Amino acid sequence: MKTIWHSTKISLDQLNEMGDDTMAAILGMEFTEIGPDYLKMMMPVDKRTVQPYGLLHGGASAALSETVGSVASGLIIDPEKQICVGMEINANHVRGVKEGYVHAIARPLHIGANSHVWDVRITDDQHRLVCVSRLTVAILNKK
């Protein structure tokens, strides 16, 4: 399968280093796999990512979805000429999680010149669906 990425020379270590000093690092997010047309990331369910009932916070799921999808868009564009920014996100939380990790996979629904739309599925350690999210990313030309 042909890759959708602008460059195939990016490594997981490089992606994870880009997240230093960002919300992704604070929440413990980590990239785990780059496929030809998908990007995977995981996040712990711990005191940083739960709400008062001890369940994974919906905002943490949204942050995970936006991070994996936005970075995926960044891997598609030409970084010398373009930038990408989140434009819209929605998330349906379908299962609570109290411990372990959640795993997100971002796959493109649309890759256009001015926008990308991502389907992000978040599952728990037992591969059960936790959240379904759709992220729209605007592609802007650098000035």
User: Which active-site residues does the annotation give?
Assistant: 66
User: Phi and psi dihedrals of 133, rounded to 5?
Assistant: -135, 150
For the sheet containing 129-141, what is the strand order? 30-34, 39-44, 101-111, 115-123, 129-141, 82-93
Q: Count CA atoms within 13 Å of residue 15 on its CB side.
A: 25
Q: Which residue type sits at 96?
A: G
CA distances from 48 to 6, 55, 57, 68, 117 (A): 33, 11, 9, 18, 28
